[in-house]
Each structure stands twice: as structure tokens, then as C-alpha cells.
Structure 1
Amino acid sequence: MADSTSSPRISPELADLIRRYDPEESVGYLIKQAHLSLQRAVDAEMTALDLTAMQWGPLMLLAMGRGETAAELARSACSDTGAMTRMLDRLESKGLIRRVRSAEDRRVIKLELTEEGVRATEQVPQRLHDAVDLHTRDFSEQEVQQLKSLLRRMAANGAQRG
């Protein structure tokens, strides 16, 4: 009779696969590590602007005209409206955005950058470039273009999964 506290046995084939699997050679693992490193670099760049990784995105979307209400920005950022509203509250408390009632429909609250928000937003693209340049500093232009092409293909392949 088997002991009920013992672990289930795995097949020798699975055991061999597990022994041979090296997560540090996994494409998914490597993409995740690169993403985390890039995220840390962007966070460091944004600290000088007193922005977090989550805050610069809505500012840029607003500046680029990708939305003028919390709901529109949430859709553009693939975010939840409640989370976006809380983020906008923080940006408003920092004096970077303001909420303005729509003249056409008083129920609608539109968002706009303040002068301080415009100044901060003007600095974001260069800081993003600096963070990416750090990560691609030894890459040729051809390698950067190839990397972007490969990542686009991966995303397209994943999107076909449905």
C-alpha cells in the first residue's frame, strides 16, 4: 500500500526533460528578464520627473491625443477604468493634469495637461530613448530593426492563437 504522504512518481521521460530544461535559455524567460531590466531603467529615468512607470503612460497618451477622458485613456492603455481613475487622481494631485467639465455635455469630465504636465511630458520621450539605448548600446541599427521585426512576429503569432 502506497504512503498517502509520498509524492506522485513522474515518468522517466518527464524527469529527463526536467533535468535538461534550462530556464535561462527559454525565450520567454529571456524576454521577461529584458522587460524587467528595461522597466527598471525607465523607472530610474522617470524618477527625475517624479513619475512612476504607471504615471508617464497616461500623460503621454493624453499628450498624443489618444484619449481625453478616463475611459478613453483606459481603453488606449488596455487598463481598467477604476485603476486609470486612481492614477489620474495622483497625476492631478501632482499638478500635471486637470479635469474640466465638457461644455457640450456637462456629464463628461475631460482631461487636459497643465503647463507643468506639458513640461514633464516633453521630457518623457528622451528618457524612454535613453533607457532603450542603454539596453541596445552594442546593437547595430540593423540588429535593432531585426529585434523589432522578430518581436512583432512573435506578437502576431501569439495573436493568431485567439
Structure 2
Amino acid sequence: MNSEVLAFGTPRESLGILLGLVRSEVVRAMESELAARGLNLSFTQFLIIKRLSRLGPMSATELARSVELDGGAMTRQLDQLESKGYLRRCRHEQDRRALRIELTEAGSTLWQQLTDCNERVLSAAQRSLDDTEQAQLHDYLERVLHALRDKN
């Protein structure tokens, strides 16, 4: 890969830029997959559906935190997904004042369709790596994440 094209010296010196570029390409590829399927979904909306599918119902605050959105942006995304019939806001079972966000049947069905898109993009992102390298990459990124989250 030509480092001049990426506008930095070496990948070792520019981990943040490299991670940002990888994320941008994953977002671009995923949105391309969604568009090819004729789905009017943004990458953020895809992430919201993915989180709800994998983690189950949760509060809007928990969901916003998990996809790194502020409250206002989350409300707009939830409104759009709710108007498309993919999720609903329900009263919390133990606290009537609180709302839980959950997928509808249409949202769960949509996630089943999106799983293929997700796997295709992630496989393409790793196609130049063998199985051992993929496992190492995952391990390295997990360790970097843990180091950044460790407050000590």
C-alpha cells in the first residue's frame, strides 16, 4: 500500500489514522451492500438493528452508548427505524417510567437478511489474511481496545 496515498509516513506511526481509514472503508462497503439489496438504511441504523438483535431489548441510552451516538442523534435514528416498522419503544417491565427499545418481527427478519451482508463485508476485509493472521488481528485489536479502556 502506498503510504503517500494515505498521507502519512508509516502505519506504525499512524495507528489512529489507519484505524479510521479501515472503519471508513467498512462503513462504505456495508452501505454499498445495503444499497445493493435495495434497503434504505444507513450504517448507523444497521448497527442499531445488529445491537438489538444480538443483545436484546435495552434503553435508548444503553443503545446510544453501544453505537456511540448522542441522545438527539439516537432519537432521530429510532424515529426513522420505528417508522419503517423495524423496532418499537415499549414500557420497561419493572419501571413503567422507562422505555425499552426492541426489534419488531420485521426488524428480526431484516437482521436475518443483513447477517449475510455483514459476513460478506467482514470476510472481504480480511481476505488477504490466513486463519492464523485473522485470529492474531482480532487478538491485537482486542488488546488495544482493553488498553484504551483501562483507566489505571
TM-score (norm 2): 0.77
Matches within 5 A, 1:86-105: 86-102=76-92, 104-105=94-95
Measured against aligned partners, the alpha-carbon deviations of 1:28-87 in whole angstroms (never above 9, x if no partner) come to 233322222122111112222321101011112222235422122123334322221111
**What are the equivalent positions in structure 2 for 1:1-162 lying under 5 Å apart?**
23-26=8-11, 27-28=14-15, 29-47=17-35, 48=37, 49-102=39-92, 104-160=94-150
Q: Which residue of 2 aligns with 1:15?
A: none
User: 1:137-162 CA deviation, whole Å, 9 max, x = no partner?
Assistant: 12110111111122223223333476
Q: Which has the larger radius of gyration?
A: 1
State the aligned residue count: 141
Structure 1 stretches of 5 or more lacking a match? 1-21
> Identity over the aligned pairs, expressed in percent?
32
Question: Secondary structure, in 3 states, of the residue corresponding to 2:102?
Answer: strand
TM-score, scaled relative to structure 1: 0.73
Distance across 2 between alignment mates of 1:106 and 1:141: 48
